[in-house]
Amino acid sequence: MTKTTTPVLVVGGGLTGLSASIFLAWRGIPVVLAERHTGTSTDPKARVVNPRTMELYRAVGLEPAIRATRSPIEGHTVVAHAPTVAAPEALRLPTALNEDVGALSPCDWATIDQNQLEPLLRDRAVDLGVDVRFGTEVRDLRDAGDHVTALLCDRVGGRPHEVTARHVIAADGAHSPVRAMLGIPHDGPGALTRLLTVYFQADLSRPLAGRKVIAMILHNPTVRGTLTPLDQRGHWRFSISIGHDEDPAGYTEQRCGELLRAALGVDVPVRLDRVSRTPWEVSAQVARTVRVGRVFVAGDAAHVMPPIGAFGASTGVQDAFNLAWKLALVHLGTAGESLLDTYEVERLPVARRTTREALRRYEFGQGRRRGEVGGAPTAQRNTIFGYAYRDGAFIPEPDTASDGVDTDECLVEDPDHPSGRPGSRAPHLVLRRRDAQLSVLDLFGEGFVLLTGPTAVGWGAAAATVADRTGLGLTCHRIGDELRDIDGVFSSRYGIGPDGVVLVRPDGFVAWRAPLGHPAPDTVLADVVDRVLCRAAEGSRVPIGAAEVSGT
């Protein structure tokens, strides 16, 4: 039996697991990744990456490669309900892919299929030194208190391997074996429908009549299912809804052909390529906890939501980025171990809120809810850009305790009118450095960043002192010096005055701010950083003008 020791073991080589390994390795943390499948996904699955997630890929240099790899159905915009492909649409669901997000982010939507994105992530992980092991499953995990021992096994040949890790990230999918080993229960309605998939070829240009379809949900007395194009050359996938207790073996090629013709509603030549009789589920459920000891759960292993709104995969990647910078600082000795407690405090409420939104959109599309599809573009925009943490690795302000949303969910604000308050995403704005333009978000990603107003003094020296004392990556930028605020919105978006200051975390969330500055930058910044990184003694307090900020 081979034995390996690594700081972090990532279980699962899908989008979340590969992203987690990249985010960690990019920060200098060695990683072993184990994936039970022998390769990356061969199915398109998720077909777009939302702008917030693209901001994270941009931070680690992946945006150009992703932009250069386009989905075969790029330019398709139609998601509709109809009795058949040939029948008039009963409902067309709005999508946000054409919505201008330039005021919110330097990143637009990226149209890339999952089976295109995963190989890019795998190659980048390997380039960064990740020990990637496909065809390897986890048979056992044992948490010894100061480390975790995992028994891995090659799926071909059965050769065992022992990996000892300080921490483990379980990103092994909706039916996560690791989550089952940990005994973590789910909350939520669970499976909403069960489907099996037919792959076929047909020229549907006549019944589609020029429509560029992302998906069509087809429902008539004979069949219910979802039609999606695999490319623009006549290759299609039809996922047929079947009963929860129904035997997939009864869906012969002949029966599937009949159901497919009933769904098309028009007589066109059809060639069946294959029928996948391994059912998959549309589900809505969230794990009750996303941490057990030294094991963290992320992505579909932590939360499963209906595939509508481009929420699921992107939420998993954001889990990974949140966890990666915290793990990196703990492993480097810069942060206290209890910083890792904030992963669940921050991400689990986001998972609950996002899953609820995806479920609401799904139920509307299935005719189970009435009214607007939720003001879909606004709701999607708020869900992607507007979520904010109630508690976690930041210094909260006293007026952000509640906004009327259930307290087990995250706060949500209008991203078009950002507050800049601690726990919220740092707002985008355009800066000019000499002759070049950049987003303020381009300053974030690697370490902590201190942004100050044009008349603030003493903060650059304070940041250098704190960085030297703690080993923390911490840079300071005065907006108005080498970085000019083109639109003059820095102060309003971040909620500070000309001498104010804002501390931003590596994931682009505000950690702390002093709207009117502070007379002792060295003292206050040192104390704030210690508390955000869970280095400070409990109960310490730093006065910031008229208010005091309590330790987290």
Q: Could you tell me if 46 and 115 are in contact, meaning their C-beta atoms sit under 8 angstroms apart?
A: no
- Residues contacting 452, CB < 8 A, separation 6+: 459, 476, 477, 478, 479, 499, 500, 501, 502
Across the range 191-196, mean pLDDT stands at: 93
Residue 367: pLDDT band by 50, 70, 90 thresholds?
low
The answer on pLDDT for 543 being more than 50 is no
Query: Rounded CA gap, 531 and 545, in Å?
Result: 18
How many whole angstroms separate alpha carbon 152 and alpha carbon 135?
10
pLDDT exceeds 70 at position 546:
no
pLDDT at 539: 40
Banded model confidence at residue 536, pLDDT cuts 50, 70, 90:
low
In the chain, which segments carry CATH 3.50.50.60?
Answer: 2-71+109-186+286-343
**Amino acid identity at 464:** A
CATH of domain 426-550: 3.40.30.120
Residues of the chain with CATH 3.40.30.120: 426-550
Contact 248, 196 (CB under 8 A): yes
Cβ atoms < 10 Å from Cβ of 14: 25
Residues recorded for the chain = 552
Residue 534: what pLDDT? 95
Tell me: pLDDT of 420 over 90. yes
Residue 407 has pLDDT above 80, yes or no: no
Per-residue pLDDT, 502 = 98
The model's pLDDT over 303-337, given as tens digits with 9 standing for 90+, comes to 999 988 889 999 999 999 999 999 999 999 999 99
Mean pLDDT of 447-475: 97
**DSSP 3-state of 425:** strand
> Which helix (DSSP H) or strand (DSSP E) does residue 543 occupy?
strand 541-544
Q: Which residues are CB-contacts of 202 (< 8 A; sequence separation ≥ 6)?
A: 234, 236, 264, 268, 269, 270, 271
Q: What is the mean pLDDT of residues 137-154?
A: 96
**Residue 550 predicted with pLDDT over 70:** no
Render pLDDT for 344-356 as a digit per residue (tens, 0 to 9): 999 999 999 999 9
The answer on pLDDT for 506 being more than 50 is yes
Give the SS3 label for residue 114. helix
43 vs 302, higher pLDDT: 302
pLDDT per residue as tens digits for the range 172-188: 999 999 999 999 999 99
Handedness of CA 300, 304, 307, 313 (dihedral sign): negative
pLDDT for residue 370? 47
Q: Which helix (H) or strand (E) holds 205?
A: helix 205-208
What is the percentage of the chain residues whose pLDDT exceeds 90?
A: 84
353: helix, strand or coil: helix
Residue 388 CA to residue 376 CA, distance in Å, equals 20
- Specify the higher pLDDT residue, 240 or 370: 240
Report, as an integer, the average pLDDT of 393-414.
Answer: 76
pLDDT of residue 545: 32
Indicate whether 537 pLDDT > 60. no
Question: What letter would DSSP give residue 308?
Answer: -
Which fold is adopted by the domain 188-283? D-Amino Acid Oxidase; Chain A, domain 2 (3.30.9)
Query: Is 40's pLDDT higher than 50?
Result: yes
Mean pLDDT of 229-248: 94
- Phi, psi for 324 (deg, rounded to 5): -65, -45
Q: Tell me the percentage of the chain whose pLDDT exceeds 70.
A: 92
Closest CA to 132 of 43, 57, 22: 22
Residue labelled with tokens 């963290």: 296
Least confident of 15-19, 73-77, 233-237: 73-77
Q: How far apart (Å, rounded) are the C-alpha atoms in residues 484 and 490?
A: 10
Q: What is the mean pLDDT of residues 199-205?
A: 97
Tokens, residue 48: 């777009």
CATH 3.40.50.1970 fits 2-71+109-186+286-343, yes or no: no
| pTM: predicted TM-score of the whole model, two decimal places | 0.93
